[in-house]
Structure 1
Amino acid sequence: MSRRRFLALAASSALVACGRVPDFSRFTRWGLPIQVYMPGMAEGHRLRQPDFPAPSAEISTHVLILGSGVAGLGAAWQLAKSSTEFLLIEGPEFGGNAAEGQLGGQPYPRGAHYLPLPSKESSHVRELLAEMGVIEHGALSDSPHFNEAVLVHSPEDRLYINGQWQDGVVPQHGISSAEAQQTERFFALTEQLKTSLGSDGKRLFAVPLVLSSLDKKWRALDSQSFADWLAAEQYTAPSLLWYLNYCCRDDYGSDLAHTSAWAGLHYFASRNGHAANASNGAVLTWPNGLYPLIKYMAEKIPAGQRQSGMAYHVSETKDGVEALIFNTKTGQTQRIKAKKVIMAMPLHVTQKLLPLAPYGFLPEHMPEHAPWLISNFLLDGFPAESSTEALAWDNVLYQGKGLGYVVASHQLIRAAKPAQTVFTAYHALSDLTPKAARQWLQHASSDELYELAASDLRHVYGWRWRQSIKSVEITLRGHAMATPSPGFLSNQGLAALRVQNGKVLFAHSDLSGLSIFEEALWWGCRAAKLAQGDSIS
């Protein structure tokens, strides 16, 4: 069973940076070179006390897009289909949570690394994939045909439990029959929910979230935590609770006790995509995660309509909007005037550029954002596996500190394994409060970061695996994703931003209250259509 959905990784951020020198390079106490990359931290802190130079130039455009993550590039991709004039300002990190990196010529993800088969509601995703040739035919059908090179290859995933590997990530080895029965009961329920309709005729759980049913009976689940709902439904099996907690950490950055029960079920019941040439639950992936989607959308932007820089002030004017943009390369500021602006950045950044109260969003409406640590290990060769085991694309430890590790070279079909590869390990710091976790990330030493980053890998391969490591890059994302805590569906501030249709438009997965690729792209495409004057129901 495929266990990951998309790390939410996936919305645009105006405060994160790709392709520049990491924030610091050091050595661990064993002499291992380690680069620590903190996208957007310095820029974000500068916004608290802005001291930028006065504008030295002024330009005009019709639509200004601020942010080059999934939402921002999605808006640009949509606008590029029309004659609408626009300008995209990248922000410090091109690609945001879907950025890539490279070590030893091997590309790898610095965040989001896969995409589930899109359901019919995610028509915007299917449109993008069809343009790219990922969907080869039948984009509007129940089961499109996908490019085999992008469908994750076997073995897809495995779980290290009780000292050995098993296929799939749902615990099976050493599990009692009573626990197995609870697991079967839970998945029978979620399988039924995938096609269940609410009183309004809509699917109970859909992606994008705004297309889900408003049936009050089911929306009431949002008033309690997933942990409380599971207890009330008599789901007590330790192995099942571990798996469900793991899924919440993986997709939301939070544990069962801090995740809405509605969001917990949405994780399993909303994804209902099928493929003519793959099993249900298959995922799409590339060696560098979802970066090829970012690259494709960026390539559709006409020459001269994309530039580097970070916005630090946005305001409405009589004729439209005005934004001040600082170019970190030149050290100069320019003023950009536009008829409309698309704020394609996380809300905790947006609020520093533009007062949100006039749009109905108050400080108490800010969703909590979970911090993440993504670690990439360049390896000379592959760690030794048991003669009976095969390295999978996704490798997870039962009750491990992290969320497992994926293999960047897995999708490369070769007669023999490459000489080098990259293992990407993921950690959601859900054992701390988000604020405490951010403080730890900011002040942790190289050795402390490495110890956490390598914890799952060391447990599986022992200390000798370190001999294969050539270098390490650790990416710290302090505000990686919005977490859907109980009550997130009734967040009035988010509801107010979602319906804005004036000079300022908002486009980010934060508007959904949870952070996945489909949500970010949905809001980017929607904002672009509104900016063009299209009517949207």
Structure 2
Amino acid sequence: MKRRDFLLLSAGMLAGCTLPPRLAIHRYAPGMAEGHALRDRKALPAPSAELHTDVLILGSGIAGLTAGWRLAQQGYQDFLLLSGPEPHGNASAAHLAGTDCPRGAHYLPIPGMAATQVRELLAEMGVIERGAGTPAPYYDERSLVHAPEERLYQNGQWHSGLLQPGNADENAQIKRFFALVDQLKQKRGSDGKRIFEIPSALASQDPQWRALDRITFDAWLDREGYTSPQLRWYLDYACRDDFGATSARTSAWAGLHYFCSRDGRAANADNDAVLTWPGGLNPLARYMQQRIGAARALPGLAARVSERQGKVETLVWQPQQQRMLRIHARRVICAMPLHVAIHVVEGMGALGFDAQTHMPPHAPWLVSNFAFDHFPSEAHGVPLAWDNVVYGSRSLGYVVATHQLIRAARPEQTVFTAYHALADNTPEAARRWLQQASDDDLYQLAATDLAAVYGWKLWQNAAQVEITVRGHAMASPTPGFLSNTGLAALRACDGPIQFAHSDLSGFSIFEEAAWWGDAAARRILRA
């Protein structure tokens, strides 16, 4: 795909929005070089040292951290956590303009009753102040998103909320869709379980409802007569936001799951409130890392994992020390994304996972932090919100890292974090483009919504831009993902090697990663 053709896929981008000469771009591509080296099977140096541990956790994203947190919480001592190429994975953060800002996930919806391990973690941190086991706990006000929470830029003006009313027919369709959502939130399948649940492992297996996974969300919307441009744009935005894929490529079951699975409540906030921090979800990752302890943290990334006579041998490459370790463990929790695991874990085919058949598509993303010396001036309408979205854009808008800090007084400096899922072509084509894209190409794509809103006024205040390139940011739930037998095989693994990652669910959210990390730790604790 030609560079110009790809950029034109980002609708609404201002012509001539090129990188200002004075503005430096810092491109951050965590794990890309290391991942390509593993994929290309570059020669590995001989191990120079050996370690022994009972349990080795591979990866310090949310799944790996949750596994380590649970083991440490239960007094389990003999384990190590390998950081991987990027500590904390999609929950990592940067520090720009005097504040933390996310390099990945930036919010957590109020968890429902089924997400017990998430509630337990939040209560231990003090984010839930009381009532963790009740339907509506009381949350720390500092962690609940502050008002105004979200706004939409449409026709040159800001409006409250992301879904605006239209004509009478559009309004009727919007009302009908959300009335259905309210019904499906309560509906249970023939097995007595909620049709849509988080974590998804606890959702109903009723084949009548799981049949929605055979078609796309767009096909279902067409079938049900939802034609409203406002509604269809909003639903497509939701799929891009949670799945990194358009509604035309998302499973209808997954599209409805986005809206119908959330049933969290709070005693001191609206039911649709979210938890957020300046660094996105990084405070949760840092807390779990601290509970695990520095003595159990090991820098490096797994290069090869092999089962040997009922135990596991792992080769660990430590780039800073330029050395290879050999680690012997009784059990290994593979908390790496599956597109990495297939190049590292030997014998995955024997476990029932065939990469050619079972690998879920992984969506590429840009997460771009724009640091400003001063807040840019705003257009008419609703004032600056935490989440700011442009109607009709193929980008996902931007969040304000300092929003949680402005209750008393607005700080002088700030960071706007812009999100863009490269969803308008195949993931493979998008990754090829990312590999050869120039800084100016990345900047144009990253700045799509900011340029549309602020124009050239914006760059008077911009001091620094960091663009995080994630070639395989998240698994996308395309039709058929619920019946993926390879994922089911890995979910059931309970031998010397077991797996824990949101990829096992087929889509990437905090609760799914935490579920699989906790499940792996509990298996070990039961053994």
TM-score interval for Structure 1 and Structure 2 normalised by the shorter chain: over 0.9
The equivalent of 2:10 in structure 1 is none
The equivalent of 1:464 in structure 2 is 457
Q: Does 1:356 align with 2:375?
A: no
| Distance in structure 2 (CA, Å) of the matches to 1:188 and 1:414 | 34
Q: Does 1:520 align with 2:509?
A: no
The equivalent of 1:312 in structure 2 is 303
The equivalent of 2:63 in structure 1 is 71
Deviations 1:409-440 (A, max 9, x none): 00004543211000000001111110111111
The equivalent of 1:216 in structure 2 is 207
Q: Secondary structure at the match of 1:101?
A: strand
Specify the code of the residue in structure 2 equivalent to 1:309.
G
Provide TM-score, normalisation by structure 1.
Answer: 0.93
Cα pair 1:171 1:243 within 8 Å, conserved: no
| Mapping for residues 376-387 of structure 1, pairs under 5 Å | 376-386=369-379
| Distance in structure 1 (CA, Å) of the matches to 2:106 and 2:44 | 35
Sort the Cα spacing of 1:316 and 1:455 in 2 relative to 1 into closer, same or farther, 3 A.
Answer: same
| Distance in structure 1 (CA, Å) of the matches to 2:102 and 2:232 | 29
Deviations 1:133-164 (A, max 9, x none): 00000001010000000000000000011221
**1:479 positional shift:** 0.2
The equivalent of 1:256 in structure 2 is 247
Specify the code of the residue in structure 2 equivalent to 1:54.
A
Specify the code of the residue in structure 2 equivalent to 1:213.
S
The equivalent of 2:268 in structure 1 is 277
Sort the Cα spacing of 1:485 and 1:388 in 2 relative to 1 into closer, same or farther, 3 A.
Answer: closer
Cα pair 2:159 2:381 within 8 Å, conserved: no
| Distance in structure 2 (CA, Å) of the matches to 1:68 and 1:183 | 41
Deviations 1:95-150 (A, max 9, x none): 10010001132110000000000000000100000000000000010100000000
**1:280 positional shift:** 1.1
The equivalent of 2:97 in structure 1 is 104
**1:29 positional shift:** 4.9
Cα pair 1:158 1:396 within 8 Å, conserved: yes
Specify the code of the residue in structure 2 equivalent to 1:424.
T
Q: Secondary structure at the match of 2:201?
A: helix
Number of aligned residue pairs: 506
313-322 vs 402-411, which deviates more? 313-322
Q: Does 1:500 align with 2:502?
A: no
**1:51 positional shift:** 1.8
| Mapping for residues 107-256 of structure 1, pairs under 5 Å | 107-172=100-165, 175-256=166-247
Cα pair 1:29 1:447 within 8 Å, conserved: no
| Distance in structure 1 (CA, Å) of the matches to 2:265 and 2:436 | 45
Sort the Cα spacing of 1:29 and 1:408 in 2 relative to 1 into closer, same or farther, 3 A.
Answer: closer
Cα pair 1:161 1:171 within 8 Å, conserved: no
Q: Secondary structure at the match of 2:350?
A: helix
Q: Secondary structure at the match of 1:258?
A: coil
| Distance in structure 2 (CA, Å) of the matches to 1:417 and 1:356 | 52
The equivalent of 2:415 in structure 1 is 422
Q: Structure 1, unaligned stretches of length 5 or more?
A: 1-26
Q: Structure 2, unaligned stretches of length 5 or more?
A: 1-17
Q: Does 1:450 align with 2:443?
A: yes
The equivalent of 1:509 in structure 2 is 502
**1:455 positional shift:** 1.2
RMSD: 1.1
Specify the code of the residue in structure 2 equivalent to 1:185.
R
Sort the Cα spacing of 1:304 and 1:115 in 2 relative to 1 into closer, same or farther, 3 A.
Answer: same
**1:291 positional shift:** 0.1
Q: Secondary structure at the match of 1:532?
A: helix
| Distance in structure 1 (CA, Å) of the matches to 2:372 and 2:422 | 25
Q: Does 1:340 align with 2:318?
A: no
| Distance in structure 2 (CA, Å) of the matches to 1:531 and 1:233 | 46
Cα pair 1:50 1:312 within 8 Å, conserved: no
The equivalent of 2:391 in structure 1 is 398
Provide TM-score, normalisation by structure 2.
Answer: 0.95
